[in-house]
Chains A and B, each alone.
Chain A
Amino acid sequence: MNRIDESINLHFNPKAFERRLVPESHEVAALIDSDSAKEILKELPSIGPVTYLSKLGILISDVEKDGYDYLLEQQGVFGIADAEARCEMPEPEVLESVKSHSSRDLMRGPTELFNGYEGKGIKIGVIDSGVDSTHPDLKGRILNQVNCTGDSLTGDTNGHGTHVAGSIIGGNVGVASEAEILDLRVFGTSSGASIASILMALDQCISRNVDIVNMSLGSEVPSYVLESAVNQVSTNGVIVCAAAGNSGPYSETINSPSSAQLAISVAATNASKHVARFSSRGPCRWNSWQKPDCAGFGENVYSTKNGGGYTVMSGTSMASPGVAGVAACVLQYQHEHSGSSAFVDWLLRNGGVPVGQKLDEVGCGFISLDGLEQYVGNGEKMSQMDSKKKGKNVGKRFFVDLIKCKNCNSPRTVHQIRHRKDGSLVFVVSCRACRKAPQDGKIDSEEIELQEWQHKHILNHQIIKALKRCGKCGKEGLVVVGNWEPIKVNPGHPRHSKAGVGCLYCQVKGQRKIPLNIARLWSD
């Protein structure tokens, strides 16, 4: 006998049996040799029907001690087990990801700096399926409702827009509970929205001076016109948050218009800040932009329901309004401290909390108010953005704003380099317009002195084209070196230049794709 279950042995233990501690009969399962099966089935002293599972070679029967002893004696029985034993099913564990949280719970965090900043005075355009303005959690904070579809419907046609609005301004569930929204409905009775209606909504955003736009919509087919409009809204100083898409986990599945250069493309995570399976991955397939830019909470999000109450929904649609809400709170802080919206835009692209995932999955990381605290209100802390803290990929992300001329706001470039005997370099920096129109025969320029150790690592690249602020150390030491190398991503796609860049201070090096129009500015 190879194996006898301890529990079944106890049942037929002579002492226990004599004391009647256990019932006289017991159901057993025996593993038997198929050759001996016929004889065993015939001879087994059982007290009920015998079941024989021929394919498994298992006999199941209710037996008393004599039946058990018979089985023990048979050479064709390999093992005996307790057939009455019950496998205890563990209580189903409630997984963290299955629990629902509101965006407010996860995207505000235990913030001290932004405590009391609820987006007051900030206007957010919600381009969606409409908003239920009678919902108690939203009532009084919807500035206006604009129908961009041309139909005669009112309110929310789908329930999606009310959920999205709740994540932004919901009194109980929204990240920025004192902000106000402009409801721009682009979805009607049909399942899709037209590009024209979204263009109209974006036009309204400019005319009504909104600060932030949320677009929890997208298409897998790119629209150059729509992306161009998003970029134009963004250049008007509006922060545009757009859902990255739900086409994951495959790479290069970013939706349009989230793929627009200046849109903040938002990926979705679960409550554990792990990227959601459905969240679209970058980079963008039809242009060269590195997307998504950041991530927000978007799986099982608890928010307002059309008609009253609350409901749970998932999608990058749910992540984008959370990021828009965070932007509203930071923007309110910036307005009160003479800061700019451009800085908030930069924060959403660079200030996420790294969650140990790839740049193509979550961009700079998870956006939350407590995570952004370190960058706001204290410029010195900007320099803390070292690669260890930001993750491996962040070293390749550079501050995108050019250093601007104080007189004409044009990008400044290095127009002269002086070598000194002590090994140091002097960069003479000016803008193109000032060089073309010198005042009193003098060019309004600025000199930046660099010690030998600062430029040593780029001595092999003597052609220095431009000077920018380094995203890693925060100093104005990121230079573009080497000749422009035009590249063509795809036939019919816009041409970009690829440039080698390096920071004189922190010595970060890398390559960066730069739009041709900017490349031309720098290369003069």
Chain B
Amino acid sequence: MVKTSDMTVPPSSLFDDFSRCLNLFENGGSVINLKYDSEKYSIEDLLDRTWVQKEMKLLSMANVAIPKHGCFCLLHPGILFWEEDRDDVQLLHEEE
């Protein structure tokens, strides 16, 4: 099983994709950031619009609260890669 938190690159095989979706499903869904193929699809073609929290159109990316029953939408070929959102980015100044 591939842990989503360890993913730094999009998985290269369908098996990996499926494993990650299954993992997400077992966790009851999550908030994710994804990149989609904006030349062929709009975000509505790929997911339920109500799940989308933020859309970054110029980056072809979206922040999506994916419910448990929607996890396997991420196998759509129009979704290029995704990873779970997190809030561990820190300011890089040294504490006194």
Contact = CB atoms under 8 A, between A and B. Distances in A.
A207 B33 contact: no
A229 B85 CA distance: 14
B58 A207 contact: yes
Interface string B70-87: 000000000001110111
Contacts of A186: 89
B87 A492 contact: no
Contacts of A223: 8, 83, 86
B91 interface: yes
On chain B, which size bracket covers the interface? Answer: 20 to 34
B88 interface: yes
B61 interface: yes
A222 B7 CA distance: 8
Interface string B12-33: 1000000000000000000101
B90 interface: yes
A187 B90 CA distance: 9
A324 B8 CA distance: 27
Given A206-B58, A207-B58, A219 B89 contact: yes
B89 A224 contact: no
A246 to B, nearest CB: 5
Contacts of B9: 224, 492-494
Contact of B31 (A128, A196, A202, A221): A196
A196 B8 contact: no
A112 B85 CA distance: 47
A128 B35 CA distance: 23
B90 to A, nearest CB: 6
Interface in B7-64: 7-12, 31, 33-35, 53-54, 56-59, 61, 63
Interface stretch (A48-56, A95-103, A315-323, A438-446): A315-323
B87 A216 contact: no
B1 interface: no
A286 interface: yes
A502 interface: no
B56 A199 contact: yes
A34 to B, nearest CB: 49
Interface residues of A, number: 51
A199 B63 contact: yes
Contacts of B8: 222-224, 286-287, 492-493
Contacts of A196: 31, 33, 53-54, 63, 85
B59 A202 contact: yes
A188 to B, nearest CB: 9
A171 B93 CA distance: 22
A480 interface: no
Contacts of A232: 59
A199 B62 CA distance: 9
A129 interface: yes
| Most chain B CB neighbours (cut-off 10 Å) among A191, A194, A200, A313 | A194
A228 interface: yes
Given A195-B86, A224-B8, A286-B8, A245 B57 contact: no
A318 B93 contact: yes
Contact of B90 (A219, A224, A229, A318): A219
B47 to A, nearest CB: 15
A158 to B, nearest CB: 7
Contact of B56 (A191, A203, A320, A492): A203
Contacts of A316: 92
Interface of B: 2, 5, 7-12, 31, 33-35, 53-54, 56-59, 61, 63, 81-83, 85-94
30 contacts: A128-B91, A186-B89, A187-B91, A194-B85, A194-B87, A196-B33, A199-B56, A203-B59, A216-B92, A217-B91, A217-B92, A225-B35, A225-B81, A225-B83, A232-B59, A233-B59, A246-B92, A287-B8, A313-B94, A315-B91, A315-B92, A315-B93, A315-B94, A317-B91, A320-B92, A492-B8, A492-B11, A492-B12, A493-B9, A494-B9
Interface of A: 128-129, 158, 160, 163, 186-187, 190-196, 198-200, 202-203, 206-207, 216-219, 221-225, 228-229, 232-233, 243, 245-246, 255, 278, 286-287, 313-318, 320, 492-494
The 6 tightest CB contacts between A and B, nearest first, are: A203-B56, A315-B93, A196-B63, A317-B92, A194-B87, A243-B92
